[in-house]
Amino acid sequence: MAINFETASAADGRDSDDAMLSEINTTPLVDVMLVLLIIFLITIPVVNAAVAVKLPQQTNQLREVLPETVILSVDAAGANYWFDAKLRDATALQEKLAKIASLSPQPEVHIRADARTDYSAVAKVVLACQQAGIARVGFLTEPPL
C-alpha cells in the first residue's frame, strides 16, 4: 500500500488532514535492485572469461633499412618491382629471390603493396618468397593519421 490513510477521531482534537500519514513503499525499489544485482552477478563472469595472458608492452620503434634489405613493390595494377625496376614476370621474381636466398646472412624482404591492389597479387609475392626459402618477410605500411 503506497499511502496509509488513518482517520482521526473527533476526541483527539486533530483535524483529519493532520492525521494523514504518508509512507513510501520501498518494495518495488528492492525488487528492481535485486533483479539488477542478479543480472550483474550473472554477466560479470562472462566478461572475465578470457584467458589470462600478460601481453608484452612494446613501443613501435623505427627500424633502419639496411643496405642488404630487398624492397619488393606491388602497384595497384598488380605489377611487381624489384626496388624501382619493374620485373617482367613471376619467373624473374623467383630467380632474383633464389639468388638472395642463397646469401649468408640472408637479407630481409620488405613488401610495399598499394592499398588498392588485389590481395592475390600480394599473396603471389609472399608465395614466391616462401618457395625461394626467404626466412624474413615484412610488410611496409604508413602510420595512421
Q: What tens digit of pLDDT does each residue of 31-63 get?
A: 999 999 998 888 777 655 545 545 556 566 666
Q: Please check the confidence at residue 126 and state whether its pLDDT lies above 90.
A: yes
- Percent of the chain topping pLDDT 70: 68
pLDDT at 58: 56
C-alpha to C-alpha distance for 114 and 142, rounded to whole angstroms? 11
| Most trustworthy range by pLDDT among 1-10, 12-21, 31-40, 50-59 | 31-40
Whether this prediction's pTM lies above 0.85 is answered by no
Give start-end residues of each CATH 3.30.420.270 domain in the chain.
70-139
For domain 70-139, give the CATH number.
3.30.420.270
Query: pLDDT tens digits, residue range 93-120?
Result: 999 999 999 988 899 999 988 888 898 9
Instruction: Indicate the average pLDDT of the chain.
Output: 80
Buried b (16+ CB within 10 A) or exposed e, 108-136: bbbbebeeebeeebbebbbebbeebebee
